[in-house]
A and B are shown apart, each in its own frame.
Chain A
């Protein structure tokens, strides 16, 4: 069965303290892996798509990487405005359904 597991469930960091969020997946034939950011009371906002192992994407303080089993969202020198829930989702070749992880709640303390 296809699965997406995100860890940790919650993470508290001091402003400027870099860290990584993990997304482990088991899916037959990955078509794409998506990262989203969700602020409280709002819908998910698309960040990145990764298609193949070794691929990396960057946006401001965020960098997403992909291996054959997992993806990392690296946050460098985070600021309080980076506080949000980060969602990972996967889609496989033989099916267009997207499977979401349960997210990591990130809190950056000033």
Chain B
């Protein structure tokens, strides 16, 4: 079974802090994704990566950046956290771009 592990289930940070969310997958998948999920808005794509060192903007990249130094690890960075970034953050991976994505259990992030 595919295992996508997100480092924290719950996280509380303060406005203006730099926040790192970590995601690791154990299936040697090329493709990794970061989403946020908000009530009434569904899942929205923030950033994705099809290879190490490669990154592409999704639909809502503003205020975020990513890092992919190793194939198995994809990090989401909130450069200067704001209260409107309070959300559930979900990481996903897939073996190919046209296969279903496999998700981690999410990080519920609160920005105070």
Interface residue ranges, A against B (CB under 8 Å)? 31-32, 34, 36, 41-46, 49, 87, 91, 96-98, 100-103
Complex CA distance for A46 and B93, rounded to whole angstroms? 12
Q: Which of B4, B90, B98, B102 contacts A96 (CB 8 A)?
A: B98
Beyond A43-B90, A102-B40, whether A96 also contacts B97 by CB under 8 A is: yes
Write out the residue numbers on chain B whose beta carbons fall within 8 Å of the beta carbon of A34: 100
Task: Determine the main DSSP class of B at the interface with A.
Answer: loop
The closest CB in chain B to the CB of A6 belongs to B42
Q: Which of B9, B43, B90, B98 has the most CB of A within 10 A?
A: B43
Beyond A100-B42, A103-B42, whether A43 also contacts B104 by CB under 8 A is: yes
Beyond A97-B45, A100-B42, A100-B43, whether A42 also contacts B101 by CB under 8 A is: no
Q: Which of A41, A46, A101 contacts B101 (CB 8 A)?
A: A46
Known: A36-B103, A42-B106. 6 other contacts (CB 8 A): A43-B92, A43-B105, A44-B43, A45-B103, A87-B43, A98-B45
When the two chains form their complex, are residues B98 and A32 in contact, meaning their CB atoms are under 8 A apart? yes
Query: What's the least CB distance linking A58 to chain B, in Å?
Result: 17
B12 within 8 A of partner (CB):
no
A sample of 16 cross-chain residue pairs with beta-carbon separation below 8 angstroms, ordered by A number, consists of A32-B100, A41-B105, A41-B108, A43-B4, A43-B92, A43-B103, A43-B104, A44-B90, A45-B103, A46-B100, A46-B101, A46-B102, A96-B98, A98-B45, A98-B101, A102-B40
